[in-house]
Amino acid sequence: MTVQPPGSIDILHDVQLSPLTTIVLGGIAKYFVACQSVDHVCEALRSAQNQKLRVHILGGGSNVIFSDEGFNGLVIRIEMKGISYVDRGDSFLVTAAAGEEWDGFVEHCIARHLGGIECLSGIPGFVGATPIQNVGAYGQEVRETIVSVKALDRQTLRSVEFSNSECMFGYRQSRFKSNDADKYVITGVTFRLHKNGRPVIRYPELQKFITLTTDLNTIAEGEPALRAVREAVLTLRRRKSMVINPNDRNSRSVGSFFMNPILSINQLNDVKSRWQRGGGEGEIPTFPAGDKAKIPAAWLVEHTGFLRGYRSGGVGISENHSLALVNRSGTTSELLDLAIRIQHAVHERFGVMLEREPVVVPA
């Protein structure tokens, strides 16, 4: 990356996008710039406006899939850094710039005895992306700790700030992904994290693992207990190849490709009826979601015949997690074809259309 002198940006031409993504797919960006300050982002957006260029905002590349043809516009990579603290008695308000690496931020907070995001360890990407889809894992979501989100209006170039309620968080959802998709560039996020945090374990898989391996009651509050939970989460994620590792071919993915469908009672009954009519045995696993029910997308995928290790050309399904579509020296076209086949198979078998998690960027 070119280092930008103060007050200027260096727009590059014909930059390969695949190395900037965790799935290592995508062609060439016609124009590319790395922005290390809000002023740099403003300058880049202004330049794109003047030249009437399409713009794509890129963070850590963990939830994005670029076309094989690349991107015929300007890719702006967010690289602002910095973490600050405000003491609020029993908690700290911790503000992180959007370009901070997320797992590094989690580790940073745990080292300072701050609790509230320890179950989100090991998730790839940058801080600025976490509010967009309300990142969650192992019983925690960022909406539980986010106080406010700072952003830049892409048209007016004015800075704005949204409170937690104004972010309109939902399951893997926010205003930045729905109503205001592509309207703002997130520049910083403020979290409220508890001093000497005592982790609360809600997720059954994590509860079971910790019960078998660690007695949290014997571990001091704050960093020791939070780190024990972090290590447990990282162990579980590594088993599923959900921690980026260049030596693990199953980690060349965008994490979970499909979201768990949330169904009304009538929809759930229809799924159960289809399952039984098709000769299915046993109960369909479900989890409460308010007055609705959540079905694991992994179960649906597996029970339509797309099993772990499945391969199609240069892409396939992870050997360790049936929701992770992996790149085995394939192409974006192959990956999306596989995703569509899985969606159609699930819909035909269960009447449910799976919704993908990653952003697919057209050329």
Whether the predicted pLDDT of 332 surpasses 70: yes
CA distance linking residue 29 with residue 47, whole number of Å: 16
**How much is the pTM?**
0.93
Q: What is the pLDDT of residue 5?
A: 40
By mean pLDDT, which of 104-113, 212-221, 352-361 is the weakest? 212-221
Q: What is the pLDDT of residue 6?
A: 41
Whether the predicted pLDDT of 247 surpasses 70: yes
Q: What angle do CA 66, 71, 73 make, to 5 degrees?
A: 145
- Of 243, 235, 230, residue with least CA distance to 114: 230
pLDDT digits (tens, 9 = 90+) for 134-161: 999 999 999 999 999 999 999 999 999 9
Catalytic-role residue among 241, 256, 318, 322: 256
Whether the predicted pLDDT of 168 surpasses 70: yes
pLDDT band at 8 (very low <50, low <70, confident <90, very high): confident
Q: What is the pLDDT of residue 4?
A: 41
Please check whether residue 132 is in contact with residue 172, taking contact to mean a CB–CB distance below 8 angstroms: no
Q: What is the pLDDT of residue 261?
A: 97
pLDDT digits (tens, 9 = 90+) for 270-304: 999 999 999 999 999 998 988 999 999 999 999 99
Helix 223-239 × helix 102-111 angle, to 10°: 150
CA distance linking residue 57 with residue 75, whole number of Å: 6
Cα distance from N-terminal residue to C-terminal residue, the chain = 22
All structural domains of the chain: 12-78 (3.30.43.10), 83-239 (3.30.465.10), 249-361 (3.90.78.10)
Catalytic-role residue among 172, 198, 238, 328: 172
pLDDT digits (tens, 9 = 90+) for 70-113: 999 999 999 999 999 999 999 999 999 999 999 999 999 999 99
Q: What is the pLDDT of residue 300?
A: 98
Does 256 qualify as catalytic in the annotation?
yes
10 Å CB burial of residue 289 (0-12, 13-18, 19+) is middle
Q: Across residues 5-25, what is the average pLDDT?
A: 88
Does 18 qualify as catalytic in the annotation?
no
Catalytic-role residue among 144, 221, 231, 357: 357
Share of the chain above pLDDT 70, in %: 98
Query: How much is the mean pLDDT over the chain?
Result: 95
Please check whether residue 325 is in contact with residue 360, taking contact to mean a CB–CB distance below 8 angstroms: no
Helix 332-350 × helix 265-277 angle, to 10°: 90
Region of 16 (left: φ > 0; alpha: ψ -120 to 50; beta: rest) is beta
Tokens 């409460």 label which residue? 288
Q: What is the pLDDT of residue 1?
A: 35
- Of 223, 230, 227, 224, residue with least CA distance to 206: 230
Give residue 136's identity as a one-letter amino acid code. Answer: G
Tokens representing 113? Answer: 């005895």
Whether the predicted pLDDT of 217 surpasses 90: no
- Of 188, 195, 198, residue with least CA distance to 84: 188
Q: What is the pLDDT of residue 200?
A: 86
**Percent helix / strand / coil, the chain, rounded to 5:** 30, 25, 45
pLDDT band at 328 (very low <50, low <70, confident <90, very high): very high
pLDDT digits (tens, 9 = 90+) for 25-57: 999 999 999 999 999 999 999 999 999 999 999
Does 101 qualify as catalytic in the annotation?
no
